[in-house]
Amino acid sequence: MNPVRHRGAVRHSPDHQGAVPLPATHNPKHLNRLERFLRTAAEAIHTCDQDPAQEQDDDGHLLDTEGYGWAAHRRDRSLWYAYLPVRSHADALLTTATAQLDMLPQESRPAWASKIAALARAADTLEAGHDRLMRELREHLTGAANPNLASVDLSVTEFFDEAWPALDVWAGGGSAVTELNTTVHGTAPPPAPNPALRLVSGGVTGWSRC
């Protein structure tokens, strides 16, 4: 099968010639942290979707664009901080999930592989964005008598805004890791967020307007 690429690395499946077999059992602590992230993310997205700034006029235009922007910013910031404990173990989660793909019947692998690959790409995107933020902050805060705090605030705000699509991938698709684990090992997965919380009509993605 094809390798899954994430965090700039390539993880080969156990049947890949010359590759080292990958562990096929998750650390329970990693799954618990993913579970907490999924619950927190669902709550943050639901809160944003219910914000009064979502109100629209008869033509479908937002009545409070500034309020909408702040609601989305709070959502994005909450998701990033909720993701941090998962970020520490994203490689391990994805590596184990990749190994588990080879324990599935051949015909069911592509669908699962697509879900895991999407999470891997999102993790890469978040890492690249964070690296860029760190470079910008160093430029703003070092080598100057008066640090440019306004630029710091702008860089952080832009980071949260740009992180939203990748965080949304993990919020909406992170449960694939636990579901795949259940499929392979037959153990009960951690509770996943209620999808109904995110079924909001009129959104760009069909999940959330915020």
DSSP letters spanning 59-87 = TS-BS-HHHHHHHHHHHHHHHHHHHHHHH
pTM of the shown model: 0.75
Per-residue model confidence (pLDDT) at position 114: 95
Per-residue model confidence (pLDDT) at position 52: 78
8 Å CB contact between 170 and 89: no
158 or 21, higher pLDDT: 158
Average pLDDT, the chain: 79
The mean per-residue pLDDT over the stretch 51-79 comes to 78
Residue 20 has pLDDT above 50, yes or no: no
67 or 29, higher pLDDT: 29
- Indicate the SS3 state at residue 11: strand
